[in-house]
Structure 1
């Protein structure tokens, strides 16, 4: 059982739509907390996606990130630094943007398979998909920019590794705390 299923046991289509909207807003706001780096900015998006995956489960988390990409494709300024549009989505960060869907789904899938309680399990459910996000991110960065593999990894992965571990730990602690509060209720 996911956190949202436990917190809201009888969910309707409207409830799920509100959760999707709240999730897309969380990711959009987290994208604006940005350290400008070129060609890939450092943001809090992966923290938000981990939280969504850890609390929503696989399907609702994936739908949330698909909705987020759709909002950006329609021109809403939801990407880092207010970026939007299809052209932005084909730039150096395209692999990360599209990889967000897989990250959210895998995080939720792991939660549905028993990684839902306890700090270490929640951390594993956040860190594994977070690290796998570098695969499409670096591949697309290399393809779009023409960088060699080492340069693409130095620009799109290495500076983000420590932050990825910290964000996974924060997400795991937050969701563990949420479960503790819910269990007291």
Structure 2
């Protein structure tokens, strides 16, 4: 059971739609907190994707990220730096943007299978998908933009490792706190 299921009980279609909408809006807002870098900016997107996965579960988290990508492609300024447009889905950050869908799904899948209890399990459920996000992100930079593999790793992975570790810790502490608060509220 995910945190959203525990907090909301049975989720109707309307409840699920509201979760997708609120999650995609939150992800769009977190994307605006960024450190501009080239070719890939550093933002709080990965924190948002992780929190959505840990709280919504696999399917709803992946659907939420797909809604976010659709909003950005449709012209809403939800991508880093208030950017929008479908060209981002094939540009330098495309491997990461599409990888967010798999990251959200895997994070949610791990949470649904017991990785949502305790700080170490929550950190693992955050860190494993965050580390795997580098595969499509770096591969896209390498294959689509002709960067040699070491340059793609230098541009798309190395600068982000410390920040991603901190974001995974923040997500773990936040969701653990959510479970604790939910438990206290039910007493």
Q: Could you tell me which residue of structure 2 aligns to residue 141 of structure 1?
A: 141
Q: Could you tell me which residue of structure 2 aligns to residue 175 of structure 1?
A: 175
1:50 & 1:150 partners in 2: Cα distance? 27
Q: Could you tell me which residue of structure 2 aligns to residue 89 of structure 1?
A: 89
**Residues 106-145 of structure 1 correspond to what in structure 2 (within 5 A)?**
106-145=106-145
The gaps in structure 1 that reach 5 residues or longer are none
1:88 & 1:7 partners in 2: Cα distance? 35
Q: Could you tell me which residue of structure 1 aligns to residue 7 of structure 2?
A: 7
Report the TM-score, using the length of structure 1 for normalisation. Answer: 0.98
Q: Could you tell me which residue of structure 2 aligns to residue 38 of structure 1?
A: 38
The superposition leaves residues 118-153 of structure 1 with CA deviations (integer Å, 9 ceiling, x where unpaired) of: 000000000000000000000111223211000000
The superposition leaves residues 25-82 of structure 1 with CA deviations (integer Å, 9 ceiling, x where unpaired) of: 1110111101000000000000011100000000000000011111111111111111
2:80 & 2:144 partners in 1: Cα distance? 18
The superposition leaves residues 12-33 of structure 1 with CA deviations (integer Å, 9 ceiling, x where unpaired) of: 1111111001110111011110
2:88 & 2:126 partners in 1: Cα distance? 26
1:107 & 1:89 partners in 2: Cα distance? 22
Q: Could you tell me which residue of structure 2 aligns to residue 54 of structure 1?
A: 54
User: How many residues are aligned here?
Assistant: 185
The gaps in structure 2 that reach 5 residues or longer are none
1:144 & 1:83 partners in 2: Cα distance? 21
List structure 1 segments (4+ residues) > 3 angstroms apart after TM superposition: none
1:41 & 1:142 partners in 2: Cα distance? 17
**1:86, CA displacement in angstroms?**
1.4
Report the TM-score, using the length of structure 2 for normalisation. Answer: 0.97
1:30 & 1:146 partners in 2: Cα distance? 30
The superposition leaves residues 68-104 of structure 1 with CA deviations (integer Å, 9 ceiling, x where unpaired) of: 1111111111111112111122110000000000000
